[in-house]
Structure 1
Amino acid sequence: MSKNLPNMLESTIAKLREMVDANSIVGEPISTADGVTIIPISNVSVGFAGGGTDFVPKNANGQENPFGGGVGGGVKVTPIAFLVIKDGIVRVLPVAVPANTAADRLVEMIPDTLDKVVSFIDTHTKKNEE
């Protein structure tokens, strides 16, 4: 086991490294015809695990170093924002994450509700002035 498991782990890490590079986090710039450049920004999560054992089965038949083991890994890339560049001005455009709870949905509704209330008050005030 002393030789097999480290080799398996090294191979898995090398493959994960191939899948995830700097371009996975800060994507390739996308240019539009009207001079806007958009750069995607992502969150990358990587995980892997491995294990193994040396065992001597009942029917070893003279095998040396019987080994059983396995290694696995995964990568998750989640877009979180876009950098939007136009006329030298850079803006961050976050990707909205859907609300999971009722409280989160209420908090998300506050700006729209306030806009509607302000619009209603403005309309009502203008009618009273006329």
Structure 2
Amino acid sequence: MAEHPIEGLMKTAMESIKEMVDVNTIVGDPVETPDGSVIIPVSRVACGFAAGGGEFESGSDRNQQKQDQQQDGTSIPFGGGSGAGVSVQPVGFLVVGQGQIRLLPVDGNAMVDRLIDVAPQILSQIQGMFQRGNKKREEEKIQC
């Protein structure tokens, strides 16, 4: 049985999407910096696809026309189309190096994310200040 024309349209559109989007579109090629860190771009990819078509009749009796064309071996006139779209949005950069892994986001909330990343360091510094203050007080008490 011959392939219906809509199948060819769909196959072509899907192959085009497959060519446009691969794993390197989502997780980009790593780039090594002079200090040895590796930066990996990360993106969000969205795809859309549509295909449609219809068979046309030239006479008033469609069923009779189909029977005649099937007997003759001719195909029914067909018209159709397909389309696809791909959207790629950068999400951020994955930075691997200096014994840690960080995600540097691209969006406007980067300040909040950066504060969350830095919070443990700030807390440990504040703890260190209190511990040094307590040690100084203990030394003053001992000297008195």
TM-score class, shorter: 0.5 to 0.7
For 1:46 and 1:12, locate their aligned partners in 2 and report how far apart those are by CA, in whole Å.
Answer: 11
Look up the match of 2:50.
49
For 1:27 and 1:9, locate their aligned partners in 2 and report how far apart those are by CA, in whole Å.
Answer: 28
For 1:20 and 1:77, locate their aligned partners in 2 and report how far apart those are by CA, in whole Å.
Answer: 9
Look up the match of 1:101.
none
Larger Rg computed on CA atoms: 2
For 1:97 and 1:24, locate their aligned partners in 2 and report how far apart those are by CA, in whole Å.
Answer: 22
The structure-2 alpha-carbon separation of the partners of 1:97 and 1:14, relative to structure 1 and needing over 3 Å to count, comes to farther
Look up the match of 2:79.
68
**Count, aligned residues:** 98
Gap runs ≥5 in structure 1: 99-107, 112-130
* Identical-pair percentage: 43
C-alpha RMSD of the superposition: 2.5
C-alpha deviations, 1:52-75, integer Å up to 9, x for none? 0000236xxx87310000000011
Look up the match of 2:92.
81
Give the TM-score taking structure 1 as reference length.
0.67
1:57 is paired with a residue whose SS is coil
The structure-2 alpha-carbon separation of the partners of 1:47 and 1:97, relative to structure 1 and needing over 3 Å to count, comes to farther
2:102 is paired with a residue whose SS is strand
By percentage of residues, which structure has more helix?
2
Look up the match of 2:15.
14
